Structure 1
Amino acid sequence: MNYTELQLRLSPDYTDILTAELAELGFESFVETDEGLSAYIIESDFDEKAVQELITKYEGQTAIAYEVSSLEKRNWNAEWERDYEPIEVADQVRVRASFHESDARFRYDIVINPKMSFGTGHHETTAMMLEQQLGLDFVGKSVLDVGSGTGILAILAEKMGAQTILAFDIEEWAVENARENAELNDCPKTTVFQGTIADVDPTTQYNIVLANINRNILLAEIPFYTNLLTKNGYLVVSGFYENDAPDIEQKALEVGLSLANRATTNQWTSLSFYKP
């Protein structure tokens, strides 16, 4: 599977805004650069006309230039190792690559070798999800990780005592990566499969559902997540911009959930909901 790389040269003040907008167009991963932003999307999903319309939308506010190139499937470790530093969350979680030494000061040590999946904890949404998880009781609980990417959220869930974790992603390479990372972290209770929410057994219920994806998928699927939640269960979501939080919250309230917690970092937002 080939990827398209979109390299944007723009003011740092607009990188977060363009990241959110490009995520709505299907771009899956983002890397901030000295010149602006690089964004990545499956080649078959790339729509240059939509990108041009987005550039036109903002070029009256800031100077923007872009270049498009095709990338063959490759191992992303070399890309990350150049400047990959461990991530520390709430003084309890440390996310590192296998080439870093462990640090005994942290309660949870998570090893993530990203390959083509970018959920390393460096992005604000992943870090917020990890911090939200620290506020929940996972001991003996069943967990569903939607769009698992590298498997980082599932791994923390198991390290926090979850009894069973089912994770899935639509991309084959993400599933392979999550399985490898689960093995690296000695997480035998984590099962990862390739598919969508439609492939999850609707008769099985979970104490906690984690979904770090994007606004449109969340709005469409929150009712499904809610049906899969046990009473007194929690849904934790992120992957959307602060301006989209009211729509996400409204959808959750419509299906009977109650807001439990909110976190915002650099205009990205994470929400957790409780099922009475």
Structure 2
Amino acid sequence: MDYQKITVTIQPRTPWVDVFIDELSELGCDSFEETKKGFNAYIPNHELNENLKNHLKSLVKNKNFQFDYTLEKIPSKNWNEIWEKSFEPIIVGDWCSILAPFHETKKTTNHTIIIEPKMSFGTGHHETTYMMVETMKSIDFQKKKVLDMGTGTGILAILAKKMNAEYVEAIDIDSEAVENCVENASRNHVEVVSKLGSKEHIKGKLFDAILANINRNILLEQMPLYGESLKPGGMLILSGFLTEDEQTVTAAAKKENIILSDKKNKENWLCLAFIKE
């Protein structure tokens, strides 16, 4: 899958970086990378739409801040090269290391995950992935059935399996992400069931834990299905949205008898943990 990279420069950075990342996620961008001058946003090439283009043009004209952007098409075959230039090891305390094959692998953490993401996202650089991994530390996955929705590189699914989950199902709408998840699971010597698609795969199934690090709108749309698919006492861990979205997300979960039990925030991004009543 080809992507469009939107390189945004903004002054002042605060609070506008967080504001515009939220706005662009609503308009279809699915991954972000903060920079010293602003941020980079990524959107599948086929999803680049007129609403997004017009919104970017309107921001350039706004006199309340200095905003500029460029668009660059990134073919799938170029993603590894771009990624390798910027990817640094992710160390989540003494709990988990997320590394690339070319990194030094001797890390003194409980778990080490080796990934090569190709064109799927979720490498752990993003604050949301970091918090998801950190939150998983406090959950007992032993002999549990786990769903990773929007798996990307498969980091969360792989970690759940390393934590002795009995069955892990990883789903993504991107065929390259599914292929990448399969490769990364093999690279880490764990068995993950990877599927191409979306919520149609989980209807009628029950899970002990559901992990979903995707944007707010998709989470809200799928919340009723999470409620149907989560066993009583099961855990739901969500991220991919900002702190200002907490009330909206928790209210949607509460309608499904899924109650907030813990939360983390990092650079204005939020990770929420819930328990199904």
Q: Please tell me whether the aligned partners of residues 55 and 64 of structure 1 are also in contact (alpha carbons under 8 angstroms).
A: no
Structure 1 residue 240 corresponds to structure 2 residue 238 = no
Moved more, 36-45 or 46-55: 46-55
**Residue 71 (structure 1) shift:** 2.6
Question: What SS is found at the alignment partner of 1:149?
Answer: coil
Q: CA deviation at 1:48?
A: 3.9
Q: Secondary structure at the match of 2:158?
A: helix
- Name the structure 2 match of 1:264: 265
Partner of 2:46: 44
User: 1:33: Cα distance to partner?
Assistant: 3.5
Q: Give TM-score scaled by structure 1 length.
A: 0.94
What CA deviation, in whole Å up to 9, does each residue of 1:160-216 have, x standing for no partner? 11010001100011111111110111112x11010001122x332110000100111
Q: How many percent of aligned residue pairs carry the same amino acid?
A: 39
How far apart, in 2, do the equivalents of 1:137 and 1:39 lie?
Answer: 35
- Is 2:127 aligned against 1:119? no
Aligned position for 2:113:
110
CA distance in 1, matches of 2:154, 2:44: 20
How much has 1:20 moved relative to structure 2?
A: 1.9
| One-letter amino acid of the counterpart of residue 22, structure 2 | A
Q: Which amino acid in the other structure matches residue 86 of structure 1? A: P
CA RMSD of aligned residues (A): 1.6
Alignment gaps of 5+ in structure 1: none
Structure 1 runs of 4+ with >6 Å offset: none
Q: Aligned partner of 2:66: which letter?
A: A
CA distance in 1: counterparts of 2:57 and 2:113, whole angstroms: 38
Q: Tell me, yes or no, if the aligned pair for 2:5 and 2:72 is still in contact at 8 Å.
A: yes
The range that moved more, 21-30 or 119-128, is 21-30
1:72 paired to 2:75: yes
Stretch moving more, 72-81 or 17-26: 72-81
* Aligned-residue offset at 1:2: 2.5
State the match for 1:30 in structure 2. Answer: 32
Of the candidates 179, 184, 187, which is equivalent to residue 181 of structure 1? 184
| 1:228-270 deviation digits (Å, cap 9, x = unpaired) | 1111101110000111111000000111111111111111101
Give the deviation of 1:132 after TM superposition. Answer: 1.0
Are 1:61 and 2:64 an aligned pair?
Answer: yes
Moved more, 8-17 or 244-253: 8-17
Letter in 2 for 1:3: Y
Q: Deviations over 1:131-177 (max 9, x none)?
A: 11111000110000000000000011011110100011000111111
CA deviation after TM superposition for structure 1 residue 7, in Å: 1.8
- In 1: Cα distance, 2:187 partner to 2:210 partner: 23
Asked whether the 8 Å contact 2:171–2:196 carries over to 1, the reply is yes
Q: Per the alignment, in what secondary structure is the counterpart of residue 249 of structure 1?
A: helix
Contact 2:114 2:187 in 1 (8 A): yes
What SS is found at the alignment partner of 1:125?
A: helix
Give the whole-Å Cα distance in 1 for the aligned partners of 2:83 and 2:56: 28
Q: Counterpart of 2:94 in 1: which secondary structure? A: coil
Query: Does 220-229 or 71-80 show the bigger shift?
Result: 71-80
In the superposition, the TM-score normalised over structure 2's length comes to 0.94
**Residue 155, structure 1, aligned to residue 158, structure 2:** yes
Q: Which moved more, 1:88-97 or 1:56-65?
A: 56-65
Counterpart position of 1:171: 174
**Which residue does the alignment assign to 2:148?**
145
Q: Which amino acid aligns with 1:275?
A: K
Counterparts of 2:263 and 2:32 in 1: how far apart (Å)? Answer: 24
Is contact 1:28-1:40 (8 Å) kept? yes
